[in-house]
């Protein structure tokens, strides 16, 4: 049985050791792993502008990306790989609301340049190393 002072020392010692381990792992992730997996070198002004358009139009209100967002509309992390540039641009530049499979997407009627920037963002996000996320569906 530990005395009160021994229990306090054990608690504070364990807390400090755990915190130091947490800081070390965080530093390793942020300095080594994240830049390698996200391909920071491929971040162009076009990709950044596409992300701003994504945020300005609250696309996460319906879609998910990297597992974050709403679940009303499809996950878009790998949409460039699944659908391609033409499909994405058609949906974003459509002058009427886009309604595939009965779910209606807001009419954005983006300019060609803005649509190209969003496509560049989707292409970049789809090339990040996500350790197998989202999983490929088993269609057997």
- Is the pLDDT confidence value at 114 over 70? yes
In this prediction the pTM is 0.73
Residues 33 and 70 in one domain: no
C-alpha dihedral (62, 100, 104, 98), degrees to nearest 10 = 100
Cα–chain-centroid distance for residue 21?
Answer: 26
Q: Which pLDDT belongs to residue 128?
A: 84
The larger pLDDT score, comparing residue 45 to residue 105, is at 45
Q: For residue range 13-47, what is the model confidence (pLDDT) as tens digits? A: 999 999 999 999 988 877 877 777 777 788 899 99
Do 1 and 47 lie in one domain? The reply is: no
Residue-wise pLDDT for 52-92, tens only, equals: 999 999 999 989 998 888 888 888 988 999 899 999 999 89
Question: What is the pLDDT at residue 97?
Answer: 84
Residue 121 maps to which CATH number?
A: 1.10.760.10
49 and 117 part of one domain = yes
What total of structural domains would you count in the chain?
2
Does one domain contain both 120 and 86?
yes
- Domain assignment of residue 61, given as a range: 42-140
Would the pLDDT of 138 be above 80? no
């Amino acid at each position: 049985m530990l005395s009160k002072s021994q229990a306090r020392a054990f608690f504070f010692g364990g807390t400090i050791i755990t915190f130091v381990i947490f800081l070390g792992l965080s530093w390793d992730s942020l300095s080594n792993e994240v830049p390698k997996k996200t391909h920071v070198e491929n971040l162009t002004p076009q990709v950044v502008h596409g992300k701003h358009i994504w945020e300005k139009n609250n696309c996460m209100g319906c879609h998910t990306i990297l597992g974050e967002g709403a679940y009303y509309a499809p996950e878009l992390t790998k949409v460039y790989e699944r659908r391609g540039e033409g499909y994405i641009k058609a949906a974003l530049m459509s002058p009427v609301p886009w309604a595939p499979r009965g779910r209606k997407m807001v009419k954005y009627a983006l300019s060609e340049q803005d649509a190209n920037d969003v496509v560049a963002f989707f292409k970049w996000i789809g090339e990040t190393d996500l350790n197998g996320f989202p999983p490929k569906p088993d269609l057997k």
